[in-house]
Chains A and B, each alone.
Chain A
Amino acid sequence: DTEVTQTPKHLVMGMTNKKSLKCEQHMGHRAMYWYKQKAKKPPELMFVYSYEKLSINESVPSRFSPECPNSSLLNLHLHALQPEDSALYLCASSQVSSNQPQHFGDGTRLSIL
């Protein structure tokens, strides 16, 4: 069982829709991450939150909007996505220390029509 829970597991949306991806962890981790992963590729970092503050934005288009309402929750709001945004979106969390591993969720498989 994963300790990082992502919902939904699958999402199909049109280019004009607005949807949100959710991520939750109860391990007391204060760093949370969003990654995008294309098939047969490594995860690409999108955003990092540290102590509920956005610390890294890897030049992600504004149609992706992250939110960290509290230390256990991380959201990714989606609006006006493009077909090339179809991918697996992974959430991860860790202690705020470089020697601590990141714990990943199962991901949300996103398809843009």
Chain B
Amino acid sequence: AQTVTQSQPEMSVQEAETVTLSCTYDTSESDYYLFWYKQPPSRQMILVIRQEAYKQQNATENRFSVNFQKAAKSFSLKISDSQLGDAAMYFCAYRSPWDTPLVFGKGTRLSVIA
């Protein structure tokens, strides 16, 4: 079974600085999909960014980018120019191509310091 590990339960960053959240996963599949979700105190899970394993290019969405290292099974999230609104719980998630459920990591709570 696939597993997703987020080794940083909590992180903090100064406003306008850059922070990287780590995620590693374990799988024997060669094709799969990876996601980062953000959950602010308002509760809604919001998709931040996604990566398809067959694409070598790292995904980017505005201030959010990933460093996808397929051989190392690593999928870290970089947030540039951090804003107060980025404070949230961040979950890394894995999905195989066989229409199976998402596998979530335990999450990283990010605090942004003004």
Task: Name A residues whose Cβ lies closer than 8 Å to a Cβ of B.
Answer: 2, 33, 40-43, 45, 48, 50, 56, 88, 90, 92, 96-99, 101-107, 109
Tell me if A's interface is mostly helix, strand, loop or mixed. Answer: loop
B45 touching A43, Cβ below 8 Å: yes
Residues in A whose Cβ lies below 8 Å from that of B107: 40-42
* 15 pairs, A vs B, C-beta closer than 8 Å: A33-B101, A41-B107, A42-B106, A42-B107, A45-B101, A90-B45, A92-B45, A98-B33, A98-B98, A98-B99, A102-B45, A103-B47, A104-B46, A107-B43, A107-B44
Interface-central residue, B43, B44, B105, B109, by most chain A CB under 10 Å: B43
Total interface residues on B, CB under 8 Å, equals: 27
Interface-central residue, A40, A42, A88, by most chain B CB under 10 Å: A42
B28 → chain A closest CB, angstroms: 16
A102 and B103 CA atoms in complex are apart in Å by 12
A94 → chain B closest CB, angstroms: 9
Known: A90-B43, A98-B96. 20 other contacts (CB 8 A): A41-B106, A41-B107, A42-B91, A42-B104, A42-B106, A43-B91, A43-B104, A50-B99, A88-B43, A90-B45, A98-B97, A98-B98, A98-B99, A98-B100, A99-B52, A99-B97, A101-B50, A102-B45, A106-B43, A109-B43
